Chain A
Amino acid sequence: MSTHELDARRMLCPMPVIKTQNKIKELADGDILDVICTDPGALSDIPAWARINGHEVVGHRENDDELIISVRVSR
Chain B
Amino acid sequence: MTKKHKAIALISGGLDSLLAVRVLQEQGIEVEGINFYTGFCVEGHTHAIRNHDKDKQKRNNALWAAEQLGIKLHIVDVIEEYKDVLLNPKHGYGANMNPCLDCKVFMVSKAVEWVKENRKDGFDFIITGEVIGQRPMSQRKETMPIISEESGADDILLRPLCAKNLPATKPELEGWVDREKLYDFSGRNRKPQMALAEKFGFKDYASPAGGCCFLTDKNYSAKLVDLWEGRGSREYEMDDIMLLKVGRHLRPKPEFKLIIARDAGESKYLEGYRKQFVTIQVVSHNGPLTIIDGDITSDDYELAAGIVARYGQGRDAEQVEIEISVPGQEKLTMTTKPLSIDEVLEDWHV
Interface residues of A (CB under 8 A from B): 10, 12-15, 17-18, 21, 39-41, 44-45, 48-49, 51-53
Interface segment out of the listed B43-51, B85-93, B128-136, B188-196: B43-51
A41 and B44 contact, CB distance less than 8 A: yes
Which B residues touch A51, using CB under 8 A? 67
CA A15 to CA B67, docked complex, whole Å: 19
A18-B75, A51-B67 given; 11 more Cβ-contact pairs under 8 Å: A13-B43, A14-B37, A14-B41, A14-B75, A15-B45, A21-B74, A21-B75, A41-B45, A41-B47, A45-B58, A45-B59
Known A-B contacts A12-B242, A44-B59; the reply to A53 vs B73 at CB < 8 A is: yes
B60:A17 contact, CB within 8 angstroms: yes
A13, B71: Cβ atoms closer than 8 Å: no
Query: Contact at A41–B37, with CB atoms within 8 Å?
Result: no
Whether the pair B72, A13 counts as a contact (CB closer than 8 A) is: no
Q: What are the 5 tightest A-B residue pairs by CB atom distance, in nearest-first order?
A: A12-B45, A13-B44, A41-B44, A48-B63, A41-B48
**Docked CA distance A51–B59 (Å):** 14
Chain A residue with Cβ nearest B272: A10
Our pick among B48, B49, B64, B74 for the contact of A48 (Cβ within 8 Å) is B64
Expressed in whole angstroms, the Cα–Cα distance for A48 and B63 within the complex equals 6
Please measure, in the bound complex, the distance between the C-alpha atom of A30 and the C-alpha atom of B219, giving whole angstroms. 47
Q: Which of A10, A15, A17, A40 contacts B63 (CB 8 A)?
A: A17
Chain A residues near B74 (CB, 8 Å)? Answer: 21
B247, chain A: closest CB distance, angstroms: 15
Partner of B37, one of A10, A18, A40, A44: A18
B48's partner among A13, A17, A49, A52 (CB-CB below 8 A) is A13
CA distance A34 to B336 in the complex (A): 47
Whether B64 pairs with A40 at a CB distance below 8 angstroms is no
Q: How many positions in chain B have a CB within 8 Å of any CB in the partner chain?
A: 25
CB–CB A52/B59 < 8 A: no
Residue ID in chain A nearest B47 by CB atoms: A41
Cα of A39 to Cα of B64 in the assembled complex, Å: 18
Min Cβ gap A47→B in Å is 10
B111 at the A/B interface (Cβ < 8 Å)?
no
Residues of B contacting A48 in the complex (Cβ-Cβ under 8 angstroms): 59-60, 63-64, 67
Q: Cβ of A13 and Cβ of B45 under 8 Å apart?
A: yes
Closest A residue, CB atoms, query B67: A52
Which residues between 8 and 60 of chain B lie within 8 Å of chain A, taking CB atoms? 37, 41, 43-45, 47-49, 58-60
Q: Is the CB of B44 within 8 A of A52?
A: no
- Identify A44's interface contact among B41, B58, B66, CB under 8 A: B58
Question: Within 8 Å of chain A (Cβ to Cβ): is B77?
Answer: yes
Most buried by A among B48, B49, B63, B67: B63
- Selected A-B contacts with CB under 8 Å, 21 pairs: A13-B43, A14-B43, A14-B45, A14-B75, A15-B45, A15-B77, A17-B60, A17-B63, A18-B75, A18-B76, A21-B75, A39-B44, A40-B48, A40-B58, A41-B44, A41-B45, A41-B48, A41-B60, A52-B63, A52-B71, A53-B72
Q: Are B63 and A49 in contact (CB under 8 A)?
A: yes
Residues of chain A within 8 A of B71, CB atoms compared? 52
Which of chain B's residues have a CB closer than 8 A to the CB of A14? Answer: 37, 41, 43-45, 60, 62-63, 75
Name the residue of chain B whose CB is nearest to the CB of A22.
B77
Q: How far is the CB of B85 from chain A (nearest CB, A)?
A: 18
* Known contacts A12-B242, A18-B77; A39 and B48 CB within 8 A of each other: yes
Alpha-carbon separation in the docked complex, A51 to B66 (Å): 10
B145 to chain A, nearest CB (A): 32
Q: How far is the CB of B282 from chain A (nearest CB, A)?
A: 23
Residues of chain A within 8 A of B44, CB atoms compared = 12-14, 39, 41, 45
